[in-house]
Structure 1
Amino acid sequence: MSHVKLTCFADEIASDLNEQLDVLEQEGIKYLELRGVWGKNVLDLNEEELNQIQAALQQRGFRISSIASPIGKYLITDPFEPQLEALDKAIHAAHLFETPFIRIFSYRLPEGEPVEAHRAEVLSRLKQQTETASRHGIILILENDSNLYGATDDCCLDIFAHCDSKHMRAAFDPGNYVMNNVQPMHDAYPKIAPYIDYVHIKDATQVPRQFVPAGVGEGHIEELLVTLKERQYDGFLSVEPHLKHYLPEASDSERVVTAIRALKVLLDKVDQAWE
């Protein structure tokens, strides 16, 4: 039986690294997404800070699943050079933490302007970034986030077809698809499945419009887990809670634990082993 690997956007627990690791350790999770530590984004950490994180992880037996960068979460009309510089920083961090994965996005479009007006520039930038990743042995995992070119399944498919590379893959996010009126399993999964190398566990409801624990919303997380098990997926399931609206009175760590445990319940239900 294949084992999936659980990881988590640990900066939703706390900004302090040790607090992040304490909660993950309590939940039996040994991987984390490196997005934010000590109030700083991963790409703003200096070399001393990166080495300090690495030492703490090694001491406590943790590993980084991906560099959760904000690359591509910018207006497509903004200059491209800073994005290339950011990718260089992310690649350096990925090599340091021995992960092949860097999470990226597909650029915001100017409000009120048609998607087609910026398609060529979006695809050009992502193609260039893919080529850079390829030269460095890195896999870019594209999150289908809202308010970006790749918010829908069809636009994501457009990106993957254009880049046509094993170095540009999908970080499949069912909750984000729900938020964009795309049915994750009926519409998105059949198109995106050949490109999925990573999965974000985020569920959502449209009414009220909010993120919820896995299995509570319209993301068909249980169906997704069954489908992944059938294809013997052994990659990462990354818990990205975003439960502030769903659990407004809870602490940050309580929200993350709620999200992690909701996923564990579904994994047990479908008899999927995890590590």
Structure 2
Amino acid sequence: MSWKLSGFGDEIDVEPVVQVTVLKALGANHIEVRSAWGTNIVDLSATQLNGLARVFDERGVQVSAIASPIGKVDVTLPVEHEVERLGRAIAAAHRLGTPYIRIFSFFRGEGVSVSSIRDEVLLRMRALADLAEREDITLLHENEKDIYGDTPERVLDIIESVGSPNLVAAWDSANFVQVGVEHPFDQGYALLRPYLRYLQVKDALTATSGVVPAGEGDGQVRETLAALLADGYEGFVSLEPHLADTNSLGGFSGPAEFGRAARALLRLTDELGVQTV
């Protein structure tokens, strides 16, 4: 069994050449693109996208997914706001040769109940899925902290209620821990496995919410990997370590800490007998 190793390049450095160099040194032949040269993927110009594609082509790296910020905004913004931004993310995905775009399911204001935004969330997610269907793109919903879909039950609600083959789940163990899901594998894996198409790898501690390398926290990462292996999963495992800094739009690790996170993941995959390519 082999899985495709990837990682968020901007967790390593702002320069794409450095991103790719470190990923290749760690054995990865794919990159997940969130930003380049300090600019978010949805804000890169056509010229910048062409330059980014050249960097990847020249170094033999393929793009696993576009790590867009779509849906990481307040749910009160007009539907068209994120549909337009998704259009830009889709243009980047087409140019960089990936069918996958990561998205989120919207923040809410302070004091606003999560149940009260459900209809507005589903309206927006349906609009995003409609565009993805037209463009032959697969949207990966990440269970980010404090969005509507931050628990296994609400992720399932979104995917089944929208009912689009172009909207599936990306799994992040650390984010589940940080919103109070004490045992992510036990509580969420069986629910979401039918829709799980992509794995983002980091771990977290229940006591502090601090992010740690895979297998060093309470996210049941090893159990999740073992179950995916048993299920015949053959997709991406993408490192998003967040070991030096975390903010509302992402995080940063630097080359050394990114390498530590990669080695922790590879220890687990080696123990399980999974080859990463």
TM-score, scaled relative to structure 1: 0.96
| Cα distance, 1:80 vs structure 2 | 2.3
SS in 2 for 1:151: coil
SS in 2 for 1:149: coil
Alpha-carbon separation, structure 1, partners of 2:178 and 2:219: 10
Alpha-carbon separation, structure 1, partners of 2:54 and 2:111: 47
Look up the equivalent residue of 1:253 and give its one-letter code: P
Q: Look up the match of 1:85.
A: 84
2:61 corresponds to 1:59 = no
Alpha-carbon separation, structure 2, partners of 1:78 and 1:129: 14
Q: Where do 5+ consecutive residues of structure 2 fail to align?
A: 247-251
2:260 corresponds to 1:261 = no
Give runs of aligned pairs for residues 108-127 of structure 1, distance below 5 A: 108-127=107-126
**CA-atom RMSD, angstroms?**
1.4
Alpha-carbon separation, structure 2, partners of 1:116 and 1:21: 42
Alpha-carbon separation, structure 1, partners of 2:50 and 2:212: 35
| Cα distance, 1:251 vs structure 2 | 6.9
Alpha-carbon separation, structure 2, partners of 1:245 and 1:134: 35
Please list the CA deviations of residues 152-174 of structure 1 after superposition, one character each: whole Å capped at 9, or x if unmatched: 11111110111112200000111
Give runs of aligned pairs for residues 61-210 of structure 1, distance below 5 A: 61-182=60-181, 183-210=183-210
SS in 2 for 1:150: coil
Please list the CA deviations of residues 78-125 of structure 1 after superposition, one character each: whole Å capped at 9, or x if unmatched: 222221111111111111111110000000011111112111000010
Look up the equivalent residue of 2:265 and give its one-letter code: L
Alpha-carbon separation, structure 2, partners of 1:53 and 1:74: 26
Alpha-carbon separation, structure 2, partners of 1:132 and 1:172: 23
Look up the equivalent residue of 2:71 and give its one-letter code: G
Alpha-carbon separation, structure 2, partners of 1:191 and 1:110: 28
| Cα distance, 1:230 vs structure 2 | 0.6
2:230 corresponds to 1:224 = no
Q: Look up the match of 1:252.
A: 254
Please list the CA deviations of residues 125-161 of structure 1 after superposition, one character each: whole Å capped at 9, or x if unmatched: 0011111101111000000000110011111111011
Q: Look up the match of 2:274.
A: 272
Q: Where do 5+ consecutive residues of structure 1 fail to align?
A: none
Look up the equivalent residue of 2:242 and give its one-letter code: H
Alpha-carbon separation, structure 2, partners of 1:81 and 1:274: 39
Are the structure 2 counterparts of residues 176 and 95 from structure 1 closer, same or farther at C-alpha, using a change threshold of 3 Å? same
Contact between 2:105 and 2:148, CA under 8 Å: does it hold in 1? yes
Aligned residue pairs total: 271
Contact between 2:12 and 2:18, CA under 8 Å: does it hold in 1? yes
Look up the equivalent residue of 2:165 and give its one-letter code: K
Stretches (4+) displaced over 3 A: none
SS in 1 for 2:86: helix
* % identity of equivalent residues: 39
SS in 1 for 2:144: coil
| Cα distance, 1:273 vs structure 2 | 1.5
| Cα distance, 1:245 vs structure 2 | 6.5
Contact between 1:8 and 1:32, CA under 8 Å: does it hold in 2? yes
Alpha-carbon separation, structure 2, partners of 1:157 and 1:216: 27
SS in 2 for 1:102: strand
Alpha-carbon separation, structure 1, partners of 2:159 and 2:35: 28
Alpha-carbon separation, structure 2, partners of 1:60 and 1:245: 28
Contact between 1:169 and 1:196, CA under 8 Å: does it hold in 2? yes
SS in 2 for 1:256: helix
Are the structure 2 counterparts of residues 92 and 77 from structure 1 closer, same or farther at C-alpha, using a change threshold of 3 Å? same
Contact between 1:210 and 1:245, CA under 8 Å: does it hold in 2? no
Alpha-carbon separation, structure 2, partners of 1:251 and 1:265: 19
Give runs of aligned pairs for residues 223-242 of structure 1, distance below 5 A: 223-242=223-242
Please list the CA deviations of residues 200-223 of structure 1 after superposition, one character each: whole Å capped at 9, or x if unmatched: 111000222211000000111111
